[in-house]
Amino acid sequence: MLTSEYRRKVVETIREVESRTDAEVVTVLAREADNYLYISTLWAAFLALLLAPLMQFLPWWLEYQQAFTLQWILFIALSVLFRWRPLTMRLVPRKVKYWRAANLARRAFLEQELHSTRGRLGLLIFVSRAEHYVEILADRGLAAQVTDENWQEIVEHFIREIKRGKTGEAFVHCIEQCGELLEEAAPVSEIKNELPNHLIILE
């Protein structure tokens, strides 16, 4: 999802940012928040069921059992077709995609122990590529200093770049922008490195 060059740049940028702040920055990139197979299957079942009212228009020589078999064939064909990822993502409602991605972001926040940093100064930059979802989660110590509006401006720019296929550049730029806010909210007072600097990738 990200070239080795950009992974290296992410590490370097995090190190540079953390040298100017007491905050701990963790970056997570997920390919997708869910496979959404249940939604594609529901769509296939719904469209196959729509065939039932149309059976009265089928040729008189087509027996009921054959019509029922047609429904099953349509269901199976659509189930396979809807598993094509670009099509699957179009079938999933945006609210569902964002809900699943937001849940994964919060789970990553806890799994990476951002809630246990000294001074509660953990910051997670989370991206789920398939959903074009970006979220910045700040722990209590940072949330008291930086408003949600500040983070949202960075997020919106990130999302625009992802849609343009520039995930690598957007990641580095996002970390740099966050670094400016972190330096002001929690300027460095000691040298420490509690959490990993490398980009964590969820396949």
- Domains of the chain listed by start with CATH number: 4-34+93-202 (3.10.310.50), 37-91 (no CATH)
Going by pLDDT thresholds of 50, 70 and 90, the confidence category of residue 48 is confident
14: left (phi over 0), alpha (psi -120 to 50) or beta: alpha
Q: Do the beta carbons of residue 192 and residue 20 sit within 8 Å?
A: no
pLDDT tens for residues 78-137?
Answer: 999 999 989 999 999 999 999 999 999 999 999 999 988 888 999 999 999 999 999 999
Task: List the one residue out of 160, 161, 157 whose CA is nearest residue 2.
Answer: 161
pLDDT tens for residues 124-176?
Answer: 999 999 999 999 999 999 988 998 899 999 999 999 988 888 888 999 999 99
Question: Is the C-alpha dihedral spanning 148, 131, 103, 167 positive or negative?
Answer: negative
Query: What's the predicted TM-score (pTM) here?
Result: 0.85
